Amino acid sequence: MAASPVFLNLDLLALSPPGWGGVLLAGFAASLQLAVGGFGLGLLIGIGGAFGKLYGGPIVRDLLEVYTTVIRAVPELVLILLLYYAGTDAVNSLLMLVGLPRVDISGLAAGIFVIGVVQGAYSTEVLRGAIKAVPPGQIEAARAYGMSPFKTLHRITLPAMLPYAIPGLSNLWLIATKDTALLAVVGFSELTLVTRQAAGATKAYMLFYCAAGVLYLSLTLISNRVIGYIERRARRGIAGPM
């Protein structure tokens, strides 16, 4: 009977304390930080991993193959638990080894590390495919001009592979935004966990979960718009739809 009044009590979403709106937005900001950080770290790992897989020696290739296979075969939730504990443990035992005191690793840093490692495996594969799609002649031409490997990378390979990489990478970005929710399970106060707390405190479950859903959804929709713009920009000069 009391369902609809509770659901419609929008005062609960007010920004200042009796309402939980401010808390939700803070959680959303934390989620965004996690997603941006994790995606960025994943991109760095991915660039390194892709080049390692394509140009590295046999041992590097095999190790990277193990990394991408294992990460993609194990559920993100399990990886997050493992890396969250193992990562903080490893840093602390490393510090103990060099004789420094233990530090409390912030949830944000650990979360970014976890999401970055997971995303790194996927973006390695995306970027590897994209680099392979760059015509070899272009890279050979860059070498013929006497460009150093690094200059070839940032002038030729990275820009030329971008149109091929963007669909995969944008998918990864959307996955990153949604994977941040999994950190709720290890107790990091991002949007989903904050929502659960707000809902539990006020008993207005539907209201808060729907509000959080709207926030996530708007992030996705806005991302899609921005991605569309970037994609058009990266594709300028390429004929026809691919």
Partner 1 sequence: MPAYVPPPPRRLLEPHRIFLIALFGAIVFCAVWFLRWDWLEKYQWKLLHGIWETLFLLFSTAGAGFILAVLLGLVQVTGPKPLAMIARGFCTLIRGTPLLLQLWLLYYGLGSVFAQYPEIRHSMFWPYLRQAWPYGFTALMLSFAAYEGEVMRGAFAGVPRGELEAARAFGMSRFTTFRRIWLPRAIYRALPTLSGETVLQLKSTPLVATITVVDVYAIISRVRQDTYLTYEPLLLLALIYMCLTGILVLLFRMLENRIPSRGA
Gap between the Cα atoms of 27 and 123, Å rounded: 26
Least separation in angstroms between CB 59 and partner 1: 5
For 112-131, the three-class secondary structure string (H helix, E strand, C coil) is HHHHHHHHHHHHHHHHHHHH
Residue 123 or 152: the one with the smaller Cβ distance to partner 1 is 152
Strand (E) or helix (H) holding 36: helix 21-55
Least separation in angstroms between CB 237 and partner 1: 21
One residue of 42, 192, 194, 198 binding partner 1 per CB under 8 A: 192
One residue of 13, 26, 81, 162 binding partner 1 per CB under 8 A: 81
Within 115-174, the residues that bind partner 1 by CB under 8 A are: 131-132, 134, 136-137, 139-140, 143, 149, 152-153, 157, 174
From the list 39-47, 81-89, 119-127, 232-240, the region that binds partner 1 by CB under 8 A is 81-89
Least separation in angstroms between CB 132 and partner 1: 6
The count of chain residues that interact with partner 1, using the rule CB under 8 A, is 61
Within 18-77, the residues that bind partner 1 by CB under 8 A are: 54-55, 58-59, 61-63, 70, 73-77
Least separation in angstroms between CB 229 and partner 1: 18
DSSP secondary structure string for all residues of 44-104: HHHHHHHHHHHHS-HHHHHHHHHHHHHHHHS-HHHHHHHHHHHHHHHHHHHHHHTTPPP--
CA distances from 206 to 9, 12, 13, 212 (A): 11, 12, 12, 10
- Number of alpha carbons in the 13 Å side-chain half-sphere of residue 64: 24
Using DSSP, state whether 15 is helix, strand or coil.
coil
Gap between the Cα atoms of 223 and 138, Å rounded: 31
How many Cβ atoms sit within 10 Å of the Cβ of residue 193?
19
Tokens linked to 81: 């638990």
Give the single-character DSSP code of 239. -
One residue of 158, 160, 181, 234 binding partner 1 per CB under 8 A: 181
Residue 10 or 233: the one with the smaller Cβ distance to partner 1 is 10
Residue 213 or 233: the one with the smaller Cβ distance to partner 1 is 213
One residue of 94, 95, 103, 185 binding partner 1 per CB under 8 A: 185
Contacts to partner 1 by CB under 8 A? 1-3, 7, 54-55, 58-59, 61-63, 70, 73-79, 81-82, 85-86, 89, 131-132, 134, 136-137, 139-140, 143, 149, 152-153, 157, 174, 178-182, 184-185, 192, 195-196, 199-200, 203, 205-206, 209-210, 212-213, 216-217, 219-221
